[in-house]
Amino acid sequence: NNYIVEVENEQQIKEYKESNKYISYYEKNKKHVEVVVEKGNVALFDVGAVVNAANCDLFPGSGVCGAIFSNAGYKELYEECMKIGGCETGSAVITNGYNLKAPYIIHTVGPIYESDDKSAPLLKSAYLSTLDIADGYSLKEIAIPSISTGVYGYPKDKALDIALDVVLNYEAKVLEKVI
For 111-137, how does the pLDDT look when each residue is reduced to its tens digit (9 = 90+)? 999 999 999 999 999 999 999 999 999
% of the chain with per-residue pLDDT over 70: 82
Query: What is the per-residue pLDDT across 47-56, written as a single tens digit (0 to 9) for each?
Result: 999 999 999 9
Model-level pTM? 0.84
Looking only at the bridges linking them, the beta strands covering 104-108 and 92-96 are antiparallel
- Mean predicted confidence (pLDDT) in 159-167: 91
Judged by average pLDDT, the poorest of 27-41, 122-136, 155-169 is 27-41
Query: What is the per-residue pLDDT across 47-105, written as a single tens digit (0 to 9) for each?
Result: 999 999 999 999 999 889 999 999 999 999 999 999 999 999 999 999 999 999 999 99
| Rounded Cα–Cα distance for residues 135 and 17 (Å) | 23
Helices (H), the chain: 10-18, 20-28, 63-72, 74-84, 116-136, 156-168
